[in-house]
Structure 1
Amino acid sequence: MIADSDTRWKWGALTARRVSERDVDLSGFLLRGRATPTPRQLAEVGAGVHPDDLREVTGAEFVRAVQQDAYDVVVLALVGGAVQAVLHGLAALDRRPVVVTGYVGVVYEKLADGLLLRHGADVVLANSRHDAERFRAVYTGVGADASAVTETALPFLGGAPYAPADGRDTVVFAAQPSVPESREDRGYLLRRLVEHARLHPRREVVLKLRSQPGEHTTHIEELPYQKLAGKLASEPPPNFRLAYGHMGELLDRTDLLVTVSSTAALESLHRRIPTVVLTDLGVRETLGNHHFIGSGCLASWDQLDAGERPDADPAWLAGQGVAADVPYDTAFDAVRERVADLLARPALPPIAPYYTATTAPGYLPGILARYRLDAAPADEVTGVRRVMRDAVRDAARGAYRHGVQRVAPVIRRMGEL
């Protein structure tokens, strides 16, 4: 399994385990880039899944590893462009594994772009019936084979169903790194959360953070809430606190989950925890909360301050693959059957992505070059030249990552002064 961020690592590692009905060796790869997770992030999102070995690689190095180690199945938990590049790299191999890919959570933007970049994998996982229908419609609409689309569920759902506890009243706000994006909007949400704690002094109000300053997730977080909290006009009340850690463990003691559009809402709804998707900043595609139209979960801070609690719509939940009538354990049967069928064949069919030099001559070459997969594995430089080249690239990547993660956010903030 290869991942390029903390959230994709969580999805990919758990998916890899659920794809197989038996205990198998799991090799973990981290795609080197600006969002490569730290050891702390891996431990936090790991959910008890530990690979037998772990390596940080480039796209080309991953393809070489697959060629050398002859894996049976690989799970690509990567951004769409990286998936497409790796698919073309794997297509050049004499023997290839079964390739599985999909999405970490709610698919609310770049639907066509992301799906077509994933086309060519043997299995494209859809986390719900709703997503499966949309995915097939996109593929058939452009004349591409849609047979790889396989309905499943998010692999990190589960946990004990919600049960109120005497004396416990905990509200958790699940923060997101890039939604909303502006300082004004993020400051507004933080102030409302703190004010909610003041209005309800007997209620524990928790701001669940995704990363510590300097760490990066799937999206760049230029304005971390913990830094904004340090600049509040007055000290937050004692019943307000910040929290890191595994979301599932925090949900064990949550009585109300509040978010803008985090996938944590689906985890919460699956456990039937009262869940609110905020409308304060509007219901907009750029926020992702439009995905929850029809859920019954939309509400504002004013409504929450007044004590209102929305009720989730059962039909909407079923369509999203959460709190559904079908037992959660059976949600992965279809993908297991498809993978088993592919492995039983004498030979796998050639990888045939929708994007080729014929269908996308102005798009595909740039994607392949970005991940250094614009040459077949056999064309890779070897020997001393390769060692020298890799050393120079590692130094350049380190400088680039420092610039993206440290210098660029400072320059942007200076520009806002």
Structure 2
Amino acid sequence: MPASTTKSLRVAVLADSDTRWKWGALTANRIAPADSDIRLDGYLLRGRATPTARQLEEVGVRADSLREVTAVEFLREMAREEAAYDVLVLSLVGGGVQAMLHGLSHQWRERAATGSTKRPVVVTGYVGVVYEKLADGLLLRHGADLVLANSRQDADRFTAVYEGVGADASSVTEVALPFLGGDPYEKHDPYTVVFAAQPSVPESRKDRTYLLNRLVQHARLHPDREVLLKLRSKPGEHTTHIEEQPYQRLAERIPGGPPANLRLVYGHMGEVLDRTDLLVTVSSTAALESLHRRIPTVVLTDLGVRESLGNHHFVGSGCLASWDQLDDGHIPSPDERWVARQGVGADGSYETAFDAARERIAALLAGGTLPDLAPYYTPVTAPGYLPGILARHHLAPDGSPLPGAPDAEREPGAVRQIVRRAARGAYRHGVQRVAPVIRRMGEL
């Protein structure tokens, strides 16, 4: 009987929110060479958006181990010989990626001085649609071995930015969104309209109240339809972005209460799409998930087509429409060329979408000692910007931990948990209750 050719692959994912954990873990499984037996260890970076147990359960992605860490604790873990990972996925906001690149580089230089030169292949990318801070976010991610682009359009844009500043663009690797999937669209009874809410788009209470009122109006105009408000998090939880005006709070103020055919729902986006006939959003990546399944999809124009809303990304998609048009029965028809350029396969298949990433990782792992990480931002190229980015994660300009940097190993477990929960609760109360009141008072 021939010997097995399966190779063991150790992969670590560092994420700072529920959506980034989902992207990072799913990406890790997609980019691993096909003949690999993966062990996936998850690390959740402690901060305002660290996912709760409920959020992790909703994401539905499993790991062989999963624990919460500080930035310094994670860097020390990566410096240990026992933590000899083959691949490391940094699924963080741009500043977090940059801080980890410098912190890891410092740790691995110190380890190399003792004779150990092995380091993992470092991978990073974006959770979904890239519609703001393109240059800023990209340059903060520069230095990873692979910077994943979720579509051909993104790959072209990423390459242009890197080459435009004189940075090495060879890390840009085209893939697809790792969570595209599900059954093709079929009509449902009752016809179901889903509004996919976003935590920070739009931001103001006025605009969010407007969208909620239009959703209520649509439900009342179409009592034969089921209308769902799909929410990302419950009050008190945070996801990738801060939500100052939760729709749940606004819904409590609907005169006479919401109509019987309108419900607030949570859960896995894929499961909600299983029963969706019309997906409505401002600019959520859920639109691409919906288009992948060929579900009728609308990107709202009610508040304008603006960069600050992100719906400008969908210009040319054929999906732009207003609530007035939807109330009158409009069904959009997406532009297939635009859809294909966003990395949404016309045949619904993504079997080869991650081949380039797999091949590159396999080549790097087989090529011997990897070179030092070389981010574009250094104390020489960005002396007025980089130190502040690193300091937020308690790192010095050379990537070393600052004196007094928080380290979970020094804190009693029970006390740390109590203090951390209290701090998070106070922060979220300030964001969702106190800050809006102060803002309104300032506008008087």
Q: Distance in 2 between matches of 1:27 and 1:377?
A: 24
Q: 1:364 to 1:347 in 2, by over 3 A?
A: same
Return closer, same or farther for 1:385/1:114 CA change in 2, 3 Å cut-off.
Answer: closer
Flag the 1:229–1:391 CA change in 2: closer, same or farther, 3 A: closer
1:163 correspondence with 2:186: yes
The equivalences for 1:313-352 within 5 A come to 313-324=335-346, 327-352=349-374
* C-alpha distance 25-90 of structure 1, shift in aligned 2 (>3 A): same
**Distance apart, 1:378 and its partner CA:** 8.6
> 1:34 maps to which residue?
48
Aligned partner of 2:390 among 368, 390, 397: 368
- Which of 103, 121, 143 in structure 2 is aligned with 1:98? 121
Partner of 1:304: 326
- The answer as to 2:227 corresponding to 1:195 is no
Partner Cα separation in structure 2 for residue 390 and residue 238 of structure 1: 46
Measured at CA, do residues 140 and 326 of structure 1 come closer, stay the same or move farther in structure 2, by a change above 3 Å?
A: farther
Aligned partner of 1:139 among 147, 158, 162: 162
Are the aligned partners of 1:70 and 1:96 in contact in 2 as well (CA < 8 Å)?
yes
Would you say 1:205 and 2:219 are equivalent positions? no
* RMSD of equivalent CA atoms: 2.2
Counterpart in 2 of 1:74? 88
Name stretches of at least 5 consecutive residues in structure 1 with no aligned partner: none
**In 1, Cα distance between the equivalents of 2:345 and 2:280?**
18
The residue number in structure 2 matching 1:245 is: 267
Q: Does 1:4 align with 2:26?
A: no
With over 3 angstroms needed to count, the CA separation of the structure-2 counterparts of 1:347 and 1:320, relative to structure 1, is same
Range that drifts further, 55-64 or 291-300: 55-64
Shift of 1:386: 6.7
The one-character-per-residue Cα deviations of 1:157-195 (angstroms, maximum 9, x if unpaired) are 011111124x33000000000101111110010011011
CA offsets per residue over residues 361-399 of structure 1, 9 Å max, x none? 1111111111123265698889x9972699998777555
SS in 2 for 1:24: strand
Please, which moves more after superposition, 100-109 or 394-403?
394-403
Q: Structure 1: which amino acid aligns with 2:255?
A: A
Distance 1:170 1:394, change over 3 A: closer
Which digits, 9 at most, give the CA deviation of each residue in 1:289-329, with x for residues without a partner?
Answer: 00000000000000000001110000000100013358311
1:316 maps to a residue whose letter is: W
Picking from 364, 375, 379, the partner of 1:353 is 375
Structure 2 residue aligned with 1:43:
57
For the residue of structure 1 that corresponds to 2:351, the secondary structure is: helix
Amino acid at match of 1:33: G
**4+ residue runs of structure 1 moved beyond 3 angstroms?**
323-327, 375-382, 388-400
Match of 2:7 in 1: none
Give the one of 266, 272, 280 matched to 2:294: 272
In structure 1, the partner of 2:173 is 150
Identity, % of aligned positions? 69
SS in 2 for 1:359: coil
Instruction: Give the letter for the 2:185 counterpart.
Output: Y
Please tell me the residue identity of whatever aligns with 1:82.
G
Distance 1:97 1:212, change over 3 A: same
**1:401 correspondence with 2:413:** no
Once the two structures are superposed, what CA deviation does each residue of 1:62-89 show, in whole Å capped at 9, x if it has no partner? 1111122111101000000010010011
Q: Distance in 2 between matches of 1:208 and 1:25?
A: 33
Q: Distance in 2 between matches of 1:108 and 1:136?
A: 16
Match of 2:311 in 1: 289
Measured in 1, the distance between the counterparts of 2:259 and 2:399 equals: 59
Please identify, of 405-414 and 263-272, the stretch whose mean Cα deviation from structure 2 is larger: 405-414
2:204 to 170, 182, 186: 182
Give, in whole Å, the separation in 1 of the partners of 2:408 and 2:342.
51
Q: Residues 81, 391 of structure 1: CA spacing in aligned structure 2 closer, same or farther, 3 A cutoff?
A: farther
Task: Provide TM-score, normalisation by structure 2.
Answer: 0.89
Structure 2 residue 135 is matched with structure 1 residue 123: no
Which residue of structure 1 aligns with residue 4 of structure 2?
Answer: none
Hey, what does 2:437 align to over in structure 1? 414
Q: CA deviation at 1:403?
A: 3.0
Q: Which amino acid aligns with 1:123?
A: L
